[in-house]
């Protein structure tokens, strides 16, 4: 929930702009992150597929197939994680 996300961010002492929500569902994880102004990463291991993205009015900043993609990122994903690449260049759909 956004309440829990905000509490976790405050506990860590982070600004919203410095917080990234990583989740596998658009209508809970990603929506909450978007509502709070966090960067968002959708992992396609949950109920949301890449094709489902067209059904939502909001978009994650980054879409990856697996959490492993964040542990061993491609150069493009690494640039995004380092804030060097515009988010929209990595979102499909």
Query: Tokens 């939502």 belong to which residue?
Result: 56
Q: Confidence band (pLDDT; 50, 70, 90) for 92?
A: very low
Evaluate if pTM is beyond 0.75: yes
- Cα–Cα distance between 51 and 93 in angstroms, integer? 7
Ramachandran area for residue 61 (φ above 0: left; ψ -120 to 50: alpha; else beta): alpha
Eight-class DSSP state of 40: E
CATH topology of domain 2-89: Rossmann fold (3.40.50)
Which tens digits make up the pLDDT trace of 27-82?
Answer: 999 999 999 999 999 999 988 999 999 999 999 999 999 999 988 888 888 888 88
pLDDT at residue 86 tops 70: no
């Amino acid at each position: 929930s956004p309440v829990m996300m905000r509490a976790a961010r405050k506990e860590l002492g982070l600004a919203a702009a410095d917080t990234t929500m990583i989740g596998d569902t658009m209508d809970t994880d990603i929506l909450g992150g978007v509502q709070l102004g966090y960067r968002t990463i959708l992992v396609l291991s949950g109920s949301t597929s890449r094709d489902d993205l067209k059904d939502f009015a909001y978009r994650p900043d980054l879409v990856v197939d697996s959490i492993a993609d964040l542990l061993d990122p491609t150069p493009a994903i690494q640039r995004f994680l380092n804030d060097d690449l515009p988010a929209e260049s990595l979102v499909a759909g």
